[in-house]
Structure 1
Amino acid sequence: MQISGRIEQYRDELITLRRSFHQHPELGFEEHHTAEVVESYLKDLGLTTRRVTKTGVVALLAGSRPGRVLMLRADMDALPINEENDVDYRSRNPGVMHACGHDAHMAMLLIAAKVLSHNKDAFAGTIKFVFQPNEEIAGALRMIEEGVLEHPTVDAVMGIHVWTPVESGKIGITAGPVMGGLDVFKMTIFGKGGHTGVPEDAVDPVIAAANLIQTVQMIQTREISNLKSTIIMFGRISGGTKSNIIPDKVDLEGSIRFLYKGGPDSIEQPTERFRRIAEQVCQTHRCTCRIEIIHENIPLINHSGLTELARQTAAEVFKDRNAVIDNVTMASEDFSEFSQRVPGVFMFLGAGNEKKGTTLPHHNPRFNIDEDVLLNGVAMHVRGALNYLSMNVV
């Protein structure tokens, strides 16, 4: 049977797997049930599995003869969101939901492992299947520290993300930076509490916070080139207990995203600029501040050679070169840790379908996907692996 036919015969199993994962979501590093399901499935294929980073699962598939090592990766964790979808496979874990498509990623990679295990005589080399925990908070780095890119040493890595902003029937594959770096900040502005009727006797951290939120926006419009995408967003602000009380402090949280190398060694230095302006604004308002910055993700950069291979593969799978589009987003993904160390390509499988109501953004409590696109995701894994292991790409 041809590969396309073999993939098609697993359509029902693919959707069943995805819906089962969707019903039983687990947060990062708590994917115990999920890991057991993944392990059992891979062992039934005759593969030997091992745990990496508590709940991560790794399995190897050797081809007919020695060759390069390709890693295929799927993420496992869900989000702390209470699902609002009225579907029979909705989350059974209150307050936890697969609202980013990781359930689909695991299902696609498991079916790909099944198809590839039936075709191991067709390729040279080794395929390393990696099911990664805690993608939302740097689980990839933990796996790397525990040797996931070694034993055997990985030569290249591929990943797929279902993506509702892209129309079903299309796939986004772009060379260079495709997802943003991410720094998360938490800060507290300290003033002196008092009565709102006599504000001159207090030091108001609220107005300092308001000024800070607006002033830091000058970083991406006045200090960093408009050709270097930068976003500074505040997601939380909290302070005070009553309308006529000036609080002692205000807490703020937010994110800094960028499509270039960040950090103190970069020319742009968005996070360092943020800290400078925040401290000076607070000083202007006679306040002090405490700033904590977590460097969560680096930008995800696709390797040019692997990107071209993936685009050629997509033309085979989708049978239409117009289905292959460019897609860049400021959202972040810790797949970037893998692709920083070995050549990698990360693809966006379109899953947005207006008629099926699957165009809501990721991380929304009513997020859902067009399941009809999942077979193409499996095919991209399978054909991408076979093409890479048979070509001298990198």
Structure 2
Amino acid sequence: MQSTETISLKQMLLATLENREEEMIQIRRYLHAHPELSFQEMETARFIEKFYEGKDVDVQTNIGNGFGIIVTIKGGKPGKTIGLRADFDALPIEEATDVPFKSKNPGVMHACGHDGHTAYMLVLADCLIQLKEDLHGTIKIIHQHAEETPPGGAKSIVESGILDDLDAVFGTHLMPAFPTGVIGYRSGFSMAGRTYFKLVIKGKGGHGSSPHQSNDPIVAGAYFVTAIQTIVSRRLNPFEMGVVTIGSFDGKGSFNVIKDSVELEGDVRYMNEESQKVIAEEIHRIAQGIELEFGVGCELTYIPDYPPLYNDPAVTANVVSILEQANDPHIQEIIEIPVSPASEDFSYYTEKIPGTFYNIGCKPKGVDKPYLNHHPKFDIDEAALLVSAKSVAHVVCEYNHNEGLPVSDASG
């Protein structure tokens, strides 16, 4: 059974969040209108820093390899130390929505919901600061830069050591694939790891009428594209997930000229490091084989970006239990969702710290088929901001007060 103390703290926190919902929305709209790309989020970071000015809290800036900000809230009562992460970078996308707070920065858009993550987290953090004397443990708010662009911001923040004292870490993501009020979770490996690769094939140029006097890198590149598609079907365990994609084949030139070189870029996804190892070995082997087969030179760049995201089963089960027993009218359904082939640099936190990352439904009202994350017409139901804030508030109150143990509802 929850203690009266916990109920009182949580009730005050939830009520305050509800009263400040409009503030979350206005912050989100301001950030949406002023997006900044990964590693360039100077003004966004200043906005966040200014929000905390004059508040009784420790703020550390320029954490990691960019504009990361850590806000440490020390509660007045004993408890665990937990981290709450919200990212704040945008994408190189020209916005195609018609909202009045449309991006003012050409070619840059908050097309993944990071404006919403930051908006709810700022208000939640402020509420926690106001109630910190009644709060158990310590909470570190992780305002993270550069989630979208490798090497990302999370890895450098973890490597800084500033989070070494965390007992658990939590993150959320807005997702219009399901309605507002629905929260989606996945225990264990939940999102794929990602690798970037580039292959430059150098041949010998010449006239299109005399291919025997040249060495055509386009033919070699076309063979490479075909050959790597056999990796997943013939080299991976059939029960393991893997994706190999060529996203760019730069071979443009004159119709009757054989080029000297071509450049290909691609993307690899996998759910565990063993699959990553197999795919890496095969791509290197195929590139070497093309050199021998076609007499060309191959320069392969192969850079693992983000590891697979692992949600700690015990922490995830605890969070699911807390949210299912919350009896919160804004949290209507908790569902288990499939493994996602997308990637997230939150994975660097859970490589080192037990934690979980869950999705918040934000499907715009009246829309049957919403535009998903990274689309120029991406949009959210702003009511999901309060759902995000309240879900994390439930977790903070219950997890810390009960030292990470499953809890029963107040009527238990």
Identify the TM-score tier after normalising by the shorter chain.
over 0.9
**2:32 is matched with which residue: 22, 43, 49?**
22
Counterpart CA distance in 2 for 1:190 and 1:38 is 48
In structure 2, what residue type is equivalent to 1:5?
A: A
Q: How far 1:356 sits from its partner (Å)?
A: 4.1
Q: Deviations over 1:86-124 (max 9, x none)?
A: 111111111111111111110111121122223324432
When structure 1 is superposed on structure 2, of 155-164 and 313-322 the one drifting more is: 313-322
Q: 1:296 to 1:124 in 2, by over 3 A?
A: same
Is 1:11–2:25 an aligned residue pair? no
Contact 2:203 2:297 in 1 (8 A): yes
Is 1:252–2:264 an aligned residue pair? yes
In structure 1, what residue type is equivalent to 2:76?
A: S
The residue aligned with 2:317 is 308
3-state DSSP of counterpart to 2:358: strand
The residue aligned with 1:40 is 50
3-state DSSP of counterpart to 1:135: coil
Counterpart CA distance in 2 for 1:221 and 1:39 is 49
Counterpart CA distance in 2 for 1:148 and 1:368 is 34
When structure 1 is superposed on structure 2, of 187-196 and 250-259 the one drifting more is: 187-196
Q: How far 1:240 sits from its partner (Å)?
A: 3.6
**1:324 is matched with which residue: 312, 335, 339?**
335
3-state DSSP of counterpart to 2:95: coil
Q: How far 1:312 sits from its partner (Å)?
A: 1.8
**2:389 is matched with which residue: 368, 375, 378?**
378
Q: 1:247 to 1:179 in 2, by over 3 A?
A: same
User: Counterparts of 1:177-196 in structure 2 under 5 Å?
Assistant: 177-196=189-208
Q: Deviations over 1:179-229 (max 9, x none)?
A: 111110011011111222222222111121112112111111111012111
3-state DSSP of counterpart to 2:301: strand
User: Counterparts of 1:169-180 in structure 2 under 5 Å?
Assistant: 169-180=181-192
The residue aligned with 2:378 is 367
Q: How far 1:326 sits from its partner (Å)?
A: 1.9
User: Counterparts of 1:274-353 in structure 2 under 5 Å?
Assistant: 274-315=283-324, 316=326, 317=328, 322-353=333-364
**Identity of counterpart residues, as a percentage?**
33
Unaligned residue ranges in structure 2 (runs of 5+): 1-10, 406-412
Contact 1:224 1:268 in 2 (8 A): no
Q: 1:50 to 1:12 in 2, by over 3 A?
A: same
Q: 1:268 to 1:146 in 2, by over 3 A?
A: closer
**2:136 is matched with which residue: 85, 109, 124?**
124
Q: Deviations over 1:246-285 (max 9, x none)?
A: 11111011111101125xxx68521122111222134322
The residue aligned with 2:157 is 143
Counterpart CA distance in 1 for 2:220 and 2:81 is 54
The residue aligned with 2:400 is 389
Q: 1:324 to 1:4 in 2, by over 3 A?
A: farther
The residue aligned with 1:113 is 125
Unaligned residue ranges in structure 1 (runs of 5+): none
Contact 2:80 2:403 in 1 (8 A): no
Q: 1:194 to 1:267 in 2, by over 3 A?
A: closer
Contact 1:173 1:310 in 2 (8 A): no
Contact 2:93 2:107 in 1 (8 A): yes
User: Counterparts of 1:43-62 in structure 2 under 5 Å?
Assistant: 43-51=53-61, 52-53=63-64, 54-62=66-74
Aligned pair count?
A: 389
Counterpart CA distance in 2 for 1:254 and 1:210 is 14
Contact 1:168 1:373 in 2 (8 A): yes
3-state DSSP of counterpart to 2:25: helix
Contact 1:164 1:358 in 2 (8 A): no
| Backbone CA RMSD of aligned residues | 2.0
Is 1:200–2:212 an aligned residue pair? yes
In structure 2, what residue type is equivalent to 1:334?
A: D
Contact 2:365 2:381 in 1 (8 A): no
Q: How far 1:357 sits from its partner (Å)?
A: 7.2
When structure 1 is superposed on structure 2, of 201-210 and 98-107 the one drifting more is: 201-210
Q: How far 1:362 sits from its partner (Å)?
A: 1.6
3-state DSSP of counterpart to 2:52: helix
Contact 2:182 2:332 in 1 (8 A): no
Q: 1:187 to 1:354 in 2, by over 3 A?
A: farther
3-state DSSP of counterpart to 1:363: coil
